[in-house]
Each structure stands twice: as structure tokens, then as C-alpha cells.
Amino acid sequence: MTFHVLTIFPEFFRGPFEHGVIERAQRAGLIQIKVHDLRTWTADRHRTVDDRPFGGGEGMVLKPGPIFEAVESIWPDRTAGKKVVLLSAQGRKFDQSVAREFAGLNELLLICGRYEGVDERVAEHLADEELSVGDFVLSGGELAAAMVLDVVARLKECVLGNSDSRVYESFGEDGLLDCPQYTRPAEFRGWKAPEVLLGGNHEEIRKWRLKAAREKTARQRPDLLRI
């Protein structure tokens, strides 16, 4: 699967994509990542990507021209299996099921917004959809794009290579949060790890983990139990 990221800060992605699952998935040939500098598709001396909003107001808006030119040059034909996503606070909310949907694509192109926003004609006539990563205000789409890429990349890795299918299934199959985990020492500053986990009774351990996961989900994320 190929990911394209369109951004005015290509250097932002050097860190996040060179570590962990994303780096591993790239090295294994499961995913390819191409980061594109939006300024490549400007024609003026100042490589202008933004302008003042019509009707007045604070800040600057990303111009439609360079973004349309970029997408049309990255994909001269937009065949099936390709999707253009505009990262935006106004989008559909990203979650694990959206990630599973994206993992079935051949190519995904993520457009990162900046400033006060992106000319609405990008959302209306270029992007297949707008996607938000949560109800909070980021300063741009780059962190959101890195999140989406991380989640989809690890799905690819789990489906095609990872023997631990639990990693793939957690968050979704049983709809619960993970159970609490402990490691040595068995007692730390007077706080003991649950006795049952120290013994070898796998059936008792399984039951304890399910109960603990249910309790933790009820406490932290009751919304997950109501679905």
C-alpha cells in the first residue's frame, strides 16, 4: 500500500516515519510513504501556497490551485483503490473501523491543512472525504496525518506478518479496553501485582483479565459498553 502525504512541512515527517511500526512496515515492503512538498506546485517567485480569506477575518487560507495541481500530478488518473483524504477539524471522526477501511486501499493520499483552513473547493471537488482525528484543535493536519498513517500501517503489519493476531484484534473484536498489565517486581513501593497473575493457572488468569478489562472499560470508557 502506498501513502502520499501533501504538506507544507515535509520535514515534519522525518521523525515519526523513521521509527517503530511505520519504519518496520516500510522496510518489510508492506507500505511505501511518499511525502510531497506542496510548494513544488507553485509557480510564483515566493512559492505562495496561501492567501487572505474572502470576506475578511483572521489568518490565511491554503489556495486551491497548488493542491489541485499536486493531486492531479501525483495521480494523473484516479482509479479505484485510491482515496484522497483532507485532514480537517470538520471531518468525519477517525477511529479503528475507518482505519480498517483504509487498510483495504491500494493508495491513500492525505492532504494536511494549515493556517485558518483550506479553500472549501478542495473539500467539495477534490477530496473524497474530510477526516478529523478528534474533537480538539490542532495547529495543522500533519500530526493527524501521522496518526492515521500509524494506525493503518500497523494493521497492514498485523494482517500480513505478525503472528500475534491479538494486536490486530484488540480494540474492536470484544470492544473492550485492554486489561491491566504488570511486570516485575511483584511488589513495588508496597503495591502488589494481582496474586492470580503470578501463578500459572491460565484459566483463572483469563477470567481475571476479562473481568479487569470490563471494569476498566466501565470506569474509563462507559461509552464503549453502551454500543
Name the site residues for ligand 9D3 (rule: CB under 6 A).
87-89, 113, 116-117, 132-134, 136-141, 144
Compute the distance between CA of residue 198 and CA of residue 182 in angstroms, rounded to an integer.
Answer: 10
Closer to ligand 9D3 by Cβ: residue 88 or 217: 88
Compute the distance between CA of residue 214 and CA of residue 179 in angstroms, rounded to an integer.
Answer: 8
Closer to ligand 9D3 by Cβ: residue 80 or 137: 137
Closer to ligand 9D3 by Cβ: residue 130 or 157: 130
We find the least distance from the C-beta atom of residue 224 to ligand 9D3, in angstroms, to be 20
Of the candidates 103, 111, 66, the one whose C-alpha atom is nearest the C-alpha of residue 84 is: 111
Of the candidates 12, 11, 67, the one whose C-alpha atom is nearest the C-alpha of residue 39 is: 67
Closer to ligand 9D3 by Cβ: residue 63 or 209: 63
61 neighbors 122 (Cβ within 8 angstroms): no
We find the least distance from the C-beta atom of residue 196 to ligand 9D3, in angstroms, to be 40
User: Where would I find the beta strands (DSSP E) of 18-58?
Assistant: 32-37, 50-51
80: left (phi over 0), alpha (psi -120 to 50) or beta: beta
Closer to ligand 9D3 by Cβ: residue 37 or 116: 116
Closer to ligand 9D3 by Cβ: residue 70 or 158: 70
Evaluate the CA torsion angle 219, 221, 223, 227 in order and state its sign.
Answer: negative
Q: In angstroms, how far apart are the furthest CA atoms of the chain?
A: 71
